[in-house]
Amino acid sequence: MTTGLVILLIVLILSQGLFSIVQVKYYQSFIKKITTEQAGTEYEFYTEVVKGKVLRTIVAVVVDRDGRVIQCYICKGLTIFARFKEEQTYKGAQLVNYRTAAAEKRAPQVEKALSKIYTRKLEAVT
């Protein structure tokens, strides 16, 4: 019985390592795709991770100099199965509108991420 448990643990650990590698490769290829598309433009690209109680949400946004969202991508769910999806809801929104969302407990995770991105963009200017 103990040998079976040890084998199961080894398989689980190896699977987790393999799934992590797959997820990192996907993330890197997504980031490379977006940065290649935006190369040579005046737009800026930011990513932010917001941790929930169980799952985490990754938000990637392309913004113009004034802080207006040009593109917004959201990745949430279990790591290996999660993929970035473009979210049209935030397209054209101003980051400044989300400046206090990070402090609000009931704010959606995407808006908390946009608040953190706004803060980072503001720090980059000063």
Q: How many C-beta neighbours within 10 Å does residue 104 have?
A: 12
Q: Higher model confidence: residue 120 or residue 63?
A: 63
pLDDT for residue 101 is more than 90: no
CA distance 63 to 16: 34
Q: What is the pLDDT of residues 17-54, one digit of tens each?
A: 998 898 889 999 999 999 998 888 899 999 999 888 77
- Going by C-beta distance under 8 Å and a sequence separation of 6 or more, which residues neighbour residue 96? 67, 118
Identify the band that residue 126 occupies on the pLDDT scale cut at 50, 70 and 90.
low
Angle value at C-alpha 105, between 101 and 111, nearest 5 degrees: 30
CA 110 from chain centre, in angstroms, equals: 9
pLDDT for residue 13 is more than 70: yes
pTM for this prediction: 0.82
Residue 121 corresponds to which tokens in the numbers above? Answer: 């963009």
Q: Are 47 and 64 in contact (CB under 8 A)?
A: no
CA distance 8 to 44: 45
